[in-house]
Structure 1
Amino acid sequence: MKRRSALFCGVFLLLLLKLMLLRLFLFNEIKWERALTDAFSLLALMSFLELLIPMKARRVVYWVFNLVLTLIMFASAIYNVYFGSIPTYTALSGLGQVNQVRSTITTLIEPEHFIFWVDIVVMAVYWIVNRVRRKGRQSRSYIYTQPSYRNRRKISTWKLSMAGLLIIGVVVSGLFIRKGWGIENEIVRAEQMGFMNYQVAAVVKTRQEKRELASVSLQDTVKAIQTLQESYPYRDVDQIGKEPEYFGVGKGKNLIVVQMESLQNFPIHQSLNNQVLTPVMNQLADQGLYFPYIYQQIGQGNTSDAEFISNTSIYPLGSIAMSTGFGSRELPSLPRLLAQQGYVSNTFHVNEVSFWDRNKMYPALAFDHFYDKPFYTNDNFNSFGPSDEELYRVGMEKLLNLHQESKPFYAQFVTVSSHHPFAVPETFSKIQIPPDLVGTQLGNYLDSVNYSDYALGKLIESLKQNGLWEDTVLVVYGDHQGINSKDTEASLITSKVGVPYHDQVSKFNIPFIIHIPGLEKGKTIEQTGGQVDMLPTIANIMGISLKEDQFTALGQDLLNIDNNVIGMRYYLPTGSFFNNEVMFIPGNGFDDGTAVSLRTLESVNDITPYREDYEYVLKLMKLSDDYVKRLPSRAP
């Protein structure tokens, strides 16, 4: 029994130390008083294992148990580097996408992450050395015999002890979960509950939400959304009773939406060593409608979530990629709205359409056709294959066919040439990167953004040459951030690009640009907004009244409001929001939260005026979740 207890205690202490190491990676510090939360959850799990496994299988089971938990902790630490969030079991739904983004993942791994594996490597070497030593010797056979009466009593006592520890572990862990249950901030909640308890809480919360769904209808949820939105002063009082500004200026024209990979707002109108970084987008911004205060709102699905949000005006859940979780639903969407006016909707992406379950999402959004990897010639731009130029070349071929058939179209282009790790082949690069930035994340990023801008210019040239430019509304926006703050300091961006940069405000700031044929003068609209606001804004321009179509949008038309607030809950914790003045991030709740000015990028000391926005955003995102979960399944 001494060996049994020694093995139990040894594995327990080893895994507890790994959980403390995980705390260091996730929360940037180790609070030893929090070790109890991890200790009791680990105690409960290991006691449960002891009650299940036979004595002769313990070493193998503990080896596998250690291996599995180590892999989970290792992956969670890397996940946190990229997403800035604490993964739950739902993140497993994205494992199938790992192979396609392996070049990104490998760059996120830091040498210290391999500390998790030290014991396993040592144990493996020890096992191999022992095998070599025994080779050639007479093998010893072990005959398992039934334990004596005395040993059976010891085993029974051990089992009773494990049962007692299991009860204690479960009860105490339950208390920790209950204590942190009401905290909306996932990072704080995980820090207080402990990593393993946080996973249990996620399961319990999911089941609780499923029970709640059955008690309220879709119609009731829609009404609750309308009531809540009416309580917030969105509309410009001078516009009440009038036709919305810019309404229908693009009516009947084609619509092209370009979702630019990893495009942040800071390169717009900036230069690097006197080389203009985004000359094409600069001209679009100067001649069209430019929204410089737009912020990403994506969840686990990253790029696919950006497509989902911009086409539905629904918040992502944050717990699962929306394409995976809701690809079976009939999603109210921009393609459905335009279909009522005779539009054909196509989407173009050089990935395989199964990547992030787009083969489910595109039919759910009611796109008529999608053109994925097999349609493009691979010019080996990056790990995804074809370049943005190839993407647009194929897209123009398909759009010209529709134009020749006199069919108005909505085309969505999803670019990848500026995807992390931002490696641009020398033959494609259009600017000279300074020697001190060559090979750095910032240098590579600016090079890829510049190329993507160049490729966009080739699309515009093709539209002009084929007589489509003056008959097409062109929308360009970024899907999510590109620069990882852990690899590039804000001061470096400021010194090299000459623009103030904040590790969070600037990081999540994406451009939103709309070119409208015949617009006499460009306009910069300094209204705060997010990706949920894109559909209502585009619909207004295309002459679609969401009110008349009874379309439930969680965002607002940015051209006809003078006040706004948008929520964000991935990369930032739930309860975070952007309004016309600040970015707010909660702590345990509102009172210990922090705010940063969107204009000055300085900390704001008095957060009192923003409490109503905080409470509003929490309610709105909860209703958004309820709404999308209650949408009907679509016909096969």
Structure 2
Amino acid sequence: MQRVVSVIKKWWPDFNSTVGFFMLSVFLVWLKTYWAYKTNFSLGVQGTLQEFLLFLNPIPTAIILLGIALYFRGRIAYWLMLLINLVQSIWLFANMLYYREFSDFLSLNIMGSGGSVENNLGKSIAGIIHVSDFLVFVDIIVLIVLLLVKVIKVDKTAVQKRFAALVTVFGVLLMFVGYGIASKDRSGLLTRTFDNNYIVKYLGLNEYAAYNIFKTKQTADVKKEAKASDLDKIKKFVDGKKTLENSVYFGKEKGKNVIMFHLESFQQFLIDYKVNDVEVTPNLNAFYHDQNTLAFDNFYNEVGQGKTADAETMLETGLFGTASGSAMVNYGTSNTYQAVPAILDQQGYTTAAFHGDVASFWNRDNTYKSWGYDYFFSKPYFKDADNANYNIGYGMKDKIFLQDSAKYLEQLPQPFYSKIITVTNHYPYDLDKQNISIEKTTTGDKTVDGYVQTARYLDQAFGEFLTWMKKSGLYDNSMIVLYGDHYGISENHPAAIAKLMGKSSVNSYDLANWQKVPFIVHAPGLQGGINHTYGGEIDVMPTILHLLGVSTSNNVQFGQDLLAPNRKQVVPFRNGDWVSAEYMKYGGNYYVTTTGTKIKPKEDPRAKQIIDETQAYVNKMLTYSDDVQTGDLLRFYTPEGFKKVNKKDYSYKKADGLALLKKMDKQSDTTLIDQHNHTSTMSDYVTDAPELGGQPQTIQQAVSSSESSSEETPTDDAAQQ
């Protein structure tokens, strides 16, 4: 026994030495990082090799960074190690919170664009934090206490510089060994992948940070070096994707108003979904199944780190959000675009966007000028918009916001193109008791269970707006477009998702389909039905423009008309995964799209060929789209018949916006108010918002209403007729 003890003492680190304290610090940093990998991130680790790399990858940078302290002596070395530990812990902690909500890691651009969203982040973060998250700081506190009470004593002896240098070299070599092993398992790791999960899984969270900083700088340099010829191969690729025009639908809605409804965080599964036999979204359900509604049930969100901003970018410009950060924040102010608002403005449309929060949110106040919006009605335009009771989460409550928006819509010269951005159905899905009219779900996940309550509120707000449109006559001459911008419940809640889906568990196939969001187009007389084509947000721009009779044949845009008879049914995700009509790649796995059967491409030559060709196509789309954005390549190209946007022509200050409305009123007699003998239609707008004196529907009333109307809801078959 004494021999065993002596052996342990011989090899056990002396924590009272600088080197011993260093080794202890490396171990603790490795331990909490590896714990976070396994419990807080969904990295898709498969096989012994990937498990080994995940186990290994926190160690090299821990050695390199903490090893800096070895070049100093005494207390400075100890406190420097604690400080480095703290910085790494804060970085780890921040990524745990961000990943929990967004299934991605923090980037330099996201941190730099924090000002775009910081006014509302506090409440969201408060809902995301778990008590266990603070475990990443416990070791630092313990080490400080042990030092202060002198259980661990400071070694004042200097570490030899040669030893410190060897430690640094060892850390660097270990990092390269890890990278070499990773490259053999995943070729082109840093050149071909769009998925940050791969970089963290194979290399580590700190290495990801360094790589992201390098890529951000590289991206900034691209614009300086870009030239007109860079667009040639992209133009050739885009021209090769052109589709035929659908003779039934092309130009069918020419000259009509367009009202785009941005349904915040709204997922496809909510359509026809019930809680305790009560429809969550009865108004949207009826609208979805209407015989004059085109509804797409295989429509996916394709957002990346920009989330809502990415959705807007795709819908308005036909370009993907960039691989890191928000394109609206990073490029919206300075880049050249040929966006839908500018295209339609030059076709005689008035263009306007509505958002019940500050204009700077996601840099909209600058980006919308680049896109050519005549008006941007943001928070200052709305009466009592700063009233705390009128706001929740990320802006004004939808019922109040939509009623106030109607006051400006009725003043716009027709035809107009408008985008209305709802926000109440946004994480953390809180709603004051007076506005709740449906029970929560019972998954046991507090992040998830309130989701149906805010979705119900959004549905009611939409129902009130639709009723006003019909009463005022606006409905008869408008095409109404609804889209969900991104998921509301991230895939980091698999147990809750399984319960919502009525399953015992979920796999990558289920999570891929969880990315579906609604895309709905409605107009009186439109030939409707449920369309099963596979598409995504990148396809909205050509679809809408073609319905309005506007050709996109000269545009540099990466989507295809969802109604085109020869469209290529491939939906790229921002991380390089994809869904097609035949196969699906998600989370490193492959499936038959229609059945969910998992396949191994190497065992099926035909499948492998199709999958390889699809992956190459997806990679090219994402790369070329990024090239257009990062190089600002559209400054070198103007489509025939399109006039370049001059940002100086637009001002979104309230005084300027109101003055422009008056000026347009004198020059035009096509507003809704004009059509009502210069009388406002707001008396037709009825809301039950309790903040405005209304009587909202109670949960019991919702149950009764659902039971009485269930027999009246049209079926999918009716919608197809």
Q: TM-score, normalised by structure 1?
A: 0.84
| 1:505 partner SS | helix
Q: 1:187 aligns with which of 197, 212, 229?
A: 197
Cα offsets for 1:537-590 (capped at 9, x unmatched):
01111121112xx22111111111443212112xxxx32011123431264xxx
Alignment of 1:300-339 (within 5 A): 300-328=305-333, 329-339=335-345
RMSD between superposed Cα atoms in Å: 3.2
Contact 1:490 1:501 in 2 (8 A): no
Secondary structure in structure 1 of the residue aligned to 2:303: coil
- Structure 1 SS opposite 2:295: strand
Find out whether 1:114 has 2:134 as its counterpart.
yes
Higher mean alpha-carbon deviation, 504-513 vs 575-584, is at 575-584
Is the aligned partner of 1:276 residue 2:279?
yes
Measure the CA separation in 2 of the matches of 1:630 and 1:125.
52
Paired residue for 1:5?
Answer: 19
2:175 to 165, 173, 176: 173
Q: Distance in 2 between matches of 1:270 and 1:586?
A: 26
- Comparing 275-284 and 91-100, the one that deviates more: 91-100
Unaligned runs of 5+ in 2: 1-13, 151-155, 602-606, 636-645, 649-721
Report the AA paired with residue 622 of structure 1: T
| Corresponding residue for residue 75 of structure 1 | 94
| Distance (whole Å) between structure 1 residues aligned to residue 468 and residue 515 of structure 2 | 31
The one-letter code of the counterpart of 2:331 is F
Aligned residue identity for 1:603: K
> Is residue 429–residue 447 contact of structure 1 (8 Å, CA) maintained in 2?
yes
Whether the 8 Å CA contact 2:251–2:546 is kept in 1: the answer is yes
> Residue type of the partner of 1:40?
P
Other structure's SS at 1:300 match: coil
Q: What's the counterpart of residue 164 of structure 2?
A: 162
**Match for 1:91: what amino acid?**
I
Verify: 1:389 aligned to 2:399, yes or no: yes
CA separation of 1:73 and 1:258: change in aligned 2, threshold 3 A: same
What aligned pairs does 1:87-236 form with structure 2 within 5 A after superposition?
A: 87-96=106-115, 97-123=117-143, 155=158, 158-174=160-176, 176-177=178-179, 180=183, 182-183=188-189, 184=193, 185-209=195-219, 217-221=227-231, 223-229=232-238, 235=243
Which of 413, 424, 429 is residue 422 of structure 1 equivalent to? 429
- Counterpart of 1:136 in structure 2 is none
Q: Distance in 2 between matches of 1:78 and 1:538?
A: 37
Aligned match of 1:458: 464
Q: 1:423–1:444: 8 Å Cα contact kept in structure 2?
A: yes
Cα distance in 2 for partners of 1:292, 1:34 equals: 38
The CA deviation at 1:314 is 0.6
Relative to structure 2, which stretch is displaced further, 17-26 or 415-424?
A: 17-26
> Are 1:401 and 2:415 matched, yes or no?
no
Once the two structures are superposed, what CA deviation does each residue of 1:355-414 show, in whole Å capped at 9, x if it has no partner? 222223222222222222233334445233421111111211111111xxx343211111
- Deviations, residues 153-194 of structure 1 (Å, cap 9, x unaligned): x74x62232233323433442454465471214323321112
Hey, what does 1:594 align to over in structure 2? 590
| 1:417 Cα deviation after fit | 1.3
Q: How does 1:239-254 map to 2 (within 5 A)?
A: 240=244, 244-254=247-257
State the alpha-carbon separation in 1 of the partners of residues 214 and 121 from structure 2. Answer: 31
- What is the aligned length? 587
Cα distance change on mapping 1:385 and 1:37 into 2, 3 Å: closer
Bigger mean CA offset, 449-458 vs 169-178: 169-178
Q: Please say if residues 300 and 515 of structure 2, whose CA atoms lie closer than 8 Å, have aligned partners that are also in contact.
A: yes
Alpha carbons of structure 1 residues 491 and 17: separation in structure 2 relative to 1, 3 Å: closer
Kindly provide the amino acid, as one letter, of the partner of residue 413 in structure 1: I
Give the direction of change, closer, same or farther, for the CA distance of 1:124–1:343 in structure 2 (3 Å limit). Answer: farther
Q: Distance in 2 between matches of 1:527 and 1:66?
A: 51
Structure 2 counterpart of 1:225, one-letter code: I
Q: Specify the code of the residue in structure 2 equivalent to 1:484.
A: S
Identity of aligned residues (%): 26
**Contact 1:314/1:532, CA 8 A, preserved across alignment:** yes
Greater displacement, 340-349 / 2-11: 2-11
The Cα shift of 1:504 comes to 1.1
Q: 1:421 Cα deviation (Å)?
A: 2.1
Asked whether the equivalents of residues 53 and 201 of structure 2 are also in contact (C-alpha less than 8 Å), the reply is no
SS at the partner of 2:419?
strand
Aligned partners of 1:618 and 1:170: how far apart in 2?
A: 31
Q: TM-score, normalised by structure 2?
A: 0.74
Measure, in 1, the Cα distance between the counterparts of 2:445 and 2:75.
Answer: 53
2:298 matched to 1:293?
A: yes
Structure 1 residue runs of 5 or longer lacking an equivalent are: 131-150, 588-592
CA drift of 1:244 comes to 4.3
Read off the aligned partner of 1:296 and give its amino acid letter. N
